Chains A and B, each alone.
Chain A
Amino acid sequence: MEAGSLLHSPIPWNPKLSLRRRIRSTFPRFFYFRAFSSSSSSSSSSDSQGGYRGPKPRRDWVADWVSNNDDVVRSLPICVGGASLLAVLLNRTVSGIAPVADASSSQSRADLLTLGLAVTNILTGLVWLSIRPKSVSVVSPQGVECRRIYSHLPDSVVSELTWVWQSLSEVTCCRSLIVVYDSHCVLQIGFAAGYSIDDGEPVAVDADKLMQGSLCQGVIKSGAQSYLANLSLYPGKSELPFLPSNTQAVLLQPLGEKGIAIIGGDTIRGFTTSDQAWITLIGEKLDATLAKNVRNTPLVVQDQL
């Protein structure tokens, strides 16, 4: 990706979104912001940063409280709605009014409106409960740690590759990363399967065999990322013997026409759509970097555990 092409290419905005104005009621936001946060105006300068003269953000109590008590908050609308429904009916019976839904008296009208609100809350509660994300547990990969980098690479490329590994391992559930480019294994880092059951040598990547396997061929031909969200379901797993046997999810990112990055994760469906988008663009950058730098010399291995 040359710098020039980016300078001239427009930022691809979705045309449907370009001038859409949302009907937004800002009143309640400011109302509750005043009521529930300590102040609505930011403080002026703060000298503790030694030269930074701008404002510092306030803690958002509501957001923190809601994130911490997720389950309670999810069931809140349905409880409130259900309780109100019962209360309205109880009110009618206790006051001796017949429970008939007609709009003739103002009492009935008020009851109907309240019932409508209660039903709204119940349905919102149902939707919130139905979209509760399922939490999946992390499975520790069984294997040995390894760190192999193709030795004939300039420092800038090595630092870029280590940056990619650090970002992926810190931000996503990635535990193994293999980069194969131009029939060389450029990088194998993280957890890898061992040759023997307990802590043998990490299994080396046979770059030629990998590139010719159907898994990689399919990915490179289509040019699109491939996400095997639950690796145990795929028989193609046998083409990736160097990954720990209990790797849960694998992301295959093609690097242009000549390379592939294989990212192994420790959680089923562990890579979110945001992760996938970032990895796609990082893959393009890696392709540009590697295309300038990989040469045809035999692979020499540096083992650092």
Chain B
Amino acid sequence: MSKALSFNPLIPLKMHVIHPQFPAKKTTAKPFSISARLQNQQQQLNLSVLRFTLGIPGLDESYLPRWIGYGFGSLLVLNHFVGSDSATATPAQLRTEVLGLSLAAFSIFIPYIGKFLKGASPADQATIPEGTEQIFVMSQNISDTQKEDLAWATYILLRNTNTIATLISVQGELCARGYWNIPEKVSKANLLDWFERQIERIGLKDLKDTLYFPQSSDSVLWEMLPKGTRSLLVQPVLQVPKPGANQVEKIEGFVLLASSMSYAYGDKDKAWIGALANKFGG
């Protein structure tokens, strides 16, 4: 399933018009159902956007202004010191150089701002950090429907969001799936206990508000996460209070998602993750 289409701010050497993956076929006298589906495919893929691209696969062009900024900025500095005698630099040259250096600083800053614009999708995909192993553990003494729910929920989170590791805790039962860094001394059988201990240490079970750390930081919370984690989202699962009963919302658990990209979870992702958390509460 394709994620994250188009919308990278890219920079020129030649202009390409990028066609959607399924090129528009001429459907003259075809039955309704087939032509509807082709039109659907075209509309599903958003627009054919004019993109400037170098055409090198694997090269991420949205960071090109930054590299150009570094390169030209350093060339400017080089030119100032090596190209001519510093003493003979004219005011005109100094003005140009100051202008050039501030432009270079601005260019370096541009990809950072570009990420927050509407319609910008993350330029990089989630990469799996090294040294992690893929695990899937679940508490054993729960009903089959709950097991199915937990397995499906972790699957959908790993598949549809930029997540590499997920941990769900509902009413004391745990399910962990994805790529984690497990210390060597913990054997497979004790994995659930290890997770329990980590959770107890941080007190995640008493979380009331959603936590979102879009950039990595050094804190006790991050020690249990896989090494390459850059953003973290913890969504509490609250029990929906029944109307007429006491209005206190009970905390049932939490959903923890770790991703190897920064700013991995946009507003839409957070809304869906909140909706998924509601499934487990109440």
Chain A contact residues, CB within 8 Å of chain B: 1-3, 6-7, 10-14, 17-25, 28-29, 32-33, 40-42, 44, 49-57, 60, 62-63, 66-67, 70, 73-74, 77, 80-81, 84, 87-88, 91-92, 94-95, 97, 105-107, 109-111, 113-114, 116-118, 120-121, 123-124, 127-128, 130-133, 156, 160, 163, 166-167, 170-171, 214-215, 217-218, 222, 226-230, 233-236, 269, 272-278, 280-282, 285, 288
Q: Which residues of B contact A272 (CB under 8 A)?
A: 268
- B147 beta carbon closer than 8 Å to chain A: yes
CB within 8 A of B148: which of A2, A44, A278? A2
Q: Which residues of B contact A282 (CB under 8 A)?
A: 156
By beta carbon, the residue of chain A nearest B43 is A229
Can you identify 11 A-B contacts, CB atoms within 8 angstroms? A77-B110, A84-B103, A87-B99, A121-B103, A121-B106, A218-B33, A227-B40, A229-B44, A230-B43, A273-B3, A288-B148
- Given the interface pairs A67-B116, A117-B100, the reply to whether A22 lies near B124 with Cβ below 8 Å is yes
**A117 adjacent to B96 (CB under 8 Å):** no
Chain B contact residues, CB within 8 Å of chain A: 1-3, 5-7, 9-12, 31-34, 36-37, 39-40, 43-44, 46, 49-52, 58, 60, 63-66, 68-69, 72, 75-76, 79-80, 83-84, 89-93, 95-97, 99-100, 103-104, 106-110, 112-114, 116-120, 124-128, 134, 136, 144-145, 147-148, 151-152, 155-156, 158-160, 177-178, 201-209, 211-215, 217-221, 262-263, 268-269, 271-272, 274-276, 278-279
**B202 adjacent to A156 (CB under 8 Å):** no
Count of CB-CB pairs between chains A and B under 8 Å: 292
CB within 8 A of B279: which of A29, A111, A163? A163
**A228 adjacent to B36 (CB under 8 Å):** yes
**A128 adjacent to B114 (CB under 8 Å):** yes
**B92 adjacent to A107 (CB under 8 Å):** yes
Smallest beta-carbon distance B223→chain A, Å: 10
Smallest beta-carbon distance A153→chain B, Å: 15
By beta carbon, the residue of chain B nearest A10 is B134
Bound-state CA distance A215–B97 (Å) is: 65
**B92 adjacent to A116 (CB under 8 Å):** no
CB within 8 A of A19: which of B39, B128, B144? B128
Smallest beta-carbon distance B280→chain A, Å: 10
Q: Which residues of B contact A171 (CB under 8 A)?
A: 268, 271-272, 274-275
Smallest beta-carbon distance A170→chain B, Å: 6
Known contacts A29-B262, A133-B118, A278-B272; can you find 15 more A-B pairs with CB under 8 A?
A7-B151, A11-B159, A12-B159, A28-B109, A41-B218, A81-B103, A105-B84, A107-B93, A113-B79, A121-B110, A127-B11, A171-B275, A215-B36, A277-B159, A282-B156
**A170 adjacent to B275 (CB under 8 Å):** yes
- Given the interface pairs A22-B60, A234-B36, the reply to whether A62 lies near B103 with Cβ below 8 Å is no
Bound-state CA distance A97–B91 (Å) is: 12
Q: Which residues of B contact A22 (CB under 8 A)?
A: 60, 124, 127
Smallest beta-carbon distance B221→chain A, Å: 4
Bound-state CA distance A7–B108 (Å) is: 45
Interface centre among B76, B96, B104 (most CB of A within 10 A): B96
Q: Which residues of A contact B271 (CB under 8 A)?
A: 170-171
CB within 8 A of B96: which of A63, A70, A107? A107
Interface centre among A74, A106, A110 (most CB of B within 10 A): A110
Instruction: Please give me the 10 A-B residue pairs with the lowest Cβ-Cβ distance, nearest first.
Output: A51-B206, A167-B275, A95-B92, A218-B33, A114-B100, A106-B83, A66-B116, A106-B84, A117-B103, A133-B119
Q: Which residues of A contact B52 (CB under 8 A)?
A: 123, 127
